[in-house]
Structure 1
Amino acid sequence: MKAAPFPDGTPVTIKPDPYAIIPRADFDIPGKSHGLIDVVRWRYLLNLLVRTGVTTRYRNSVLGWTWSYVRPAAQFLVFWVVLGIFMKLDHGIPNYAVYLFSGIVVINLFSEGFKNATTSIVGNAPLVRKVFLPRQLFAVSAVIVAFVHFLPQVGLLLVVCLLMGWIAHISVLSILAVLAGMIIVMVFSLGLGLFFGAVNVRFRDAENIVELMLLLATWASPVLYAWIMVQEAVVDRLHWPSWLVDLYLLNPITQGVELFHYAFWRPATEGMVSAAGYAGTELVALPPNLGWNTLWTFLIAVATLLLGQFVFRRLEGKFAQDL
């Protein structure tokens, strides 16, 4: 930078101070990340965390990946025997086994992703205390690992549906429903996982709250029963306002379950309603405004993600201190 010359004509050169021209805003606070955008920038580390989460779960296990089938199969058998046979819910819902299992896989995806994301920061406390990296990576990797464990269950569901003639009744909307259901549930579980994962670092009561929420999630969604039963109980018997049913249907987990029913159970059952044992049995009616509810529940899931990210970023600066 040149200034005005001295009176004798000698030019004056002023060297700028390299520290004086750097705005204060350019400095990063230690421990502060840039949010979920850092997950993309650190995708190599995300890949390592996912591979570690997938491979270590069944390490030193005799059955290995078979456990991905055993747990949902046992869960399905208990519910099917108790509710389908003993309580005779299968009489009102044709092909109740597929109806039940298509809902269970959604609940398992949500439960594993939400629970593991909540405990991801505390579970990786040594890394959080000693190494700077985007802490959101742990929650995101937990949800992705849950998705990987979810795939064998969907594969088993798909094989059963194919044996029932599912392929003859599917449409493009069925495929889109599967994709929409997975996205809604994963985004929603990640948002809740970020929120409760951040709170759990300081208040370990968050884990107990999450356990309670997961217990209620199975019964608060139409996994074991048909959504129409909620409408009959709320509106017809209790005479409560119908908007309570609309609110129930706007639960992202309810919507994810109904989208899987639409994609798997409905096409697989359409060819069976006229078969022996199902004569005269009608399919459960579709929930009203299924398409619009898909959009609304997606927006609710995104809003939950934004809220979880906001709380996470506000609290992450003290993670190392609290751990």
Structure 2
Amino acid sequence: MAATELTAPGQGRGLLDVLANRYLLRLIVRKEVQVRYRGSVLGILWSYIKPAVQFGVFYVAMGVFLGLNKGMENYAVYLFSGIIAMNFFNEAFGNAARSIVGNGNLIKKIYLPRELFPASSLWVAFIHFVPQVIVLLVACVFTGWVPNLWELGAVLAGFLIIGIFALGLGVVFATANVFFRDAENIVDLLVMVATWASPVLYVWTMVREAAPWLVNLYFLNPLTVAVELFHYGFWHPTVTSGGTWEIPPHLFSVWTPAALVISVAFLVLGDVVFRRFEGNFAQEL
């Protein structure tokens, strides 16, 4: 009998195992959704309530008190399109980073591809992202949203950037969190900073005016690019003039490809780090 190649116990093929175990992925996603809303009166309605409250607070604080809605047509659409983009990232990244420790009891009992857990967090975040997009689309239609293929492609590109980047960062911090529980505090800080480090509540030109030397570094943040792509796809078709907003130079020719490359690089890094240390997860947990 020909000898078969042996693999080290507890080690898998990383993200390839996720693709090969789609049935298990669906089970984990279903379990995560059920656990989250167990005992909840409103259930999935929280996917509408939370962004609605966020939007109300930010609109009053930034739009009314600070006057950002003045001179900007349909500022509400501009603001909400950025909010749902960041909500998608924050939930996918935060839950993915906690997914291994959160499922520690299951990981210690049986072996299954461990990257299924952060991948399932991305899918759960997508489930909550869809209702928010529906609300945004309704608002866009009422404000005259008639997008072309280029603008729809911008939304798709922004969605891919956020998903890939969130999963990559989530896998890295999910690994770190097993060995250093302080990683959760870093995740909380990054989630808090992410909204303010991207043009969600303000216009990117404010960065250019306040610190011109910072603009290139600012757009090396994939989330900045993704939010601007959401603005271009959702908000831009609803206005007759940009007002205080203008399309960032080289958004499509330079910054979007760069954001995709950076996001994929983080995903590859996360996969390598995860596979390197996952054999020790059970004993550390």
TM category (shorter chain) comes to: over 0.9
Deviations 1:283-323 (A, max 9, x none): 51100111121111001000000011111111111000100
Q: Within 2, Cα distance between the matches of 1:258 and 1:250? A: 12
Q: CA deviation at 1:51?
A: 1.6
Task: Please say if 1:254 is aligned against 2:260.
Answer: no
Alignment of 1:68-217 (within 5 A): 68-167=47-146, 170-217=147-194
CA contact (8 A) 1:94 1:283 kept: no
The SS at the match of 1:29 is: coil
SS at 2:69's partner residue? helix
Deviations, residues 74-124 of structure 1 (Å, cap 9, x unaligned): 011111101111111111433211111000000000000000000000010
1 or 2, which has the higher helix percentage? 2
**How many correspondences in the alignment?**
284
RCO (CA 8 Å, sep 6+): is it higher in 1 or 2?
A: 2
Cα separation, 2, equivalents of 1:51 and 1:321: 27
Contact 2:203 2:244 in 1 (8 A): no
| Structure showing greater Rg | 1
CA separation in 2, counterparts of 1:133 and 1:92?
A: 55
Query: Which residue identity lines up with residue 264 of structure 2 in the other structure?
Result: V
Equivalence for 2:202: 225
Aligned AA for 1:290?
L
C-alpha RMSD of the superposition: 1.3
What residue in structure 1 maps to residue 258 of structure 2?
296
Query: Identity of counterpart residues, as a percentage?
Result: 54
Matching residue's letter, 1:182 = F
| Letter of the structure 1 residue corresponding to residue 218 of structure 2 | Y
Matched residue type, 1:27: L
Tell me which residue corresponds to 1:34: 13
Question: Matches of 2:58 and 2:72 in 1, distance apart?
Answer: 14
Q: Distance in 2 between matches of 1:31 and 1:85?
A: 55
What one-letter code is carried by the residue in structure 2 that aligns with 1:172? Answer: L
Query: What SS does structure 2 have at the residue aligned with 1:132?
Result: coil
Confirm or deny: 8 A CA contact 1:115 1:210 kept in the other structure.
Answer: yes
Equivalent residue number for residue 56 of structure 1: 35
- TM-score normalised by the chain length of structure 1: 0.85
Match of 1:263 among 228, 233, 247: 233
Give the 3-state SS of the residue equivalent to 1:118 in structure 2.
helix
Distance 2:248 2:193 in 1: 21
> Any idea what SS the aligned residue of 1:39 has?
helix
